[in-house]
Amino acid sequence: MPIKLAENFRAVFYAPFYAAQSLGFYASEGVEVELVNSSSPGDGVSALLNEVVDITWGGPMRVMKARDLQPSSPLVCFCEVVGRDPFYLVGRHHRPEFQLRELASLRFARVAEVATPWMCLQHDLREQGVDPSRLDRAPDRSMANNFEALCKGQLDAVQLFEPYPSMALELGAGHILYAASRRGPTVYTTFIATKRGIDRHRDAFTGMTRAIRRMQGWLTQHGGEELAEITAPFYPDLTRSILVSSLRRYEQAGIWARAPDISRQGFTRLAESLLSGGFISRMPTYEDCVDQSLG
């Protein structure tokens, strides 16, 4: 069963998807997966709606937003892979007792490429009594530019995902102040498909979900170094030490789901964050957004 799967974008925290491919778990389920590059985050959903691809992976926030704009949206998500927030606050100075409310006193830059990291962080801040609009926030730039600004001492703290935290530590240019994974379950990455696509490819998508379940079992038995070994070809620009460090940190943070069933608690937390940040106008329902029939 040939399936065109659009990558959201190439990121270290997506390593389990590449592991399922490299370990042959899709193929063992009789599914021939062709990875299709996306030119930018979110383009996979556009390709999905235009039937250029059969399935994509990404944040359920896209399903929630689509439902908010159009209650009859055909998008649904299934098969949780990243179950906790993979972003970090990296600071210039070591602050072992750092509290999130201290961010209000620092020159700070958020992630601008995608919405979810900031939506989740601003909700964390509100819960700590901090008004996100009062932060000394730098103009929106790419993570690469923010990392460079941190290294030059132009910023005090930046919101980043791996490999940037590992790079900062290796260079001695920064320290991890806060791991967003500490928040607890927050459904971050799943497969996304249309209802029509699920009807058309039900057997294949069920097989892919079984493959992810096998991969999740594999992850419980193998560490970041072995995960780096099998996924390294997908990250040709990263040194071995940085990739291993990044994957170990994510493994220790528990960001990857242990089962493909989408967490209701994690779904609710994500939805609450998007609502408090004004990204959506009303709370979505789990049953509207999640297809529970493919497990």
- The answer to whether residue 294 is domain-embedded is no
Closest alpha carbon to 260 in 205, 183, 197: 205
pLDDT tens string 24-52: 999 999 999 999 987 667 678 888 988 99
Q: What's the CATH number where 96 sits?
A: 3.40.190.10
In the prediction, which pLDDT does 130 show? 96
The DSSP line for the chain is -EEEEE-S---GGGHHHHHHHHTTHHHHTT-EEEEE--SSTTHHHHHHHTTSSSEEEE-THHHHHHHHH-TT--EEEEEEEE-S--EEEEESS--TT--GGGGGGSEEE---SSSHHHHHHHHHHHHTT--GGGSEEPPP--HHHHHHHHHTTS-SEEEEETTHHHHHHHHTS-EEEEEGGGG-----EEEEEEHHHHHHHHHHHHHHHHHHHHHHHHHHHS-HHHHHHHHGGG-TTS-HHHHHHHHHHHHHHT-B-SSSSPPHHHHHHHHHHHHHTTSSSSPPPHHHHB--S--
Return the sign of the alpha-carbon dihedral for residues 231, 237, 241, 245: negative
Split into its structural domains, the chain has a count of 2
Final residue of a structural domain among 183, 200, 217: 183
Q: What is the pLDDT of residue 39?
A: 65
Task: Identify the domain boundary among 151, 183, 215.
Answer: 183
The parent domain of residue 197 ranges over 2-84+185-289
* Mean pLDDT of each 10-residue bin along the chain, 295 residues long: 89 97 97 85 82 94 97 97 98 93 96 96 97 95 97 97 98 96 97 97 97 97 93 96 97 97 98 98 97 88
pLDDT for 65: 97
197 with 55, same domain? Answer: yes
Same domain, 77 and 190: yes
281 and 247 together in one domain: yes
Of 125, 152, 183, the domain-final residue: 183
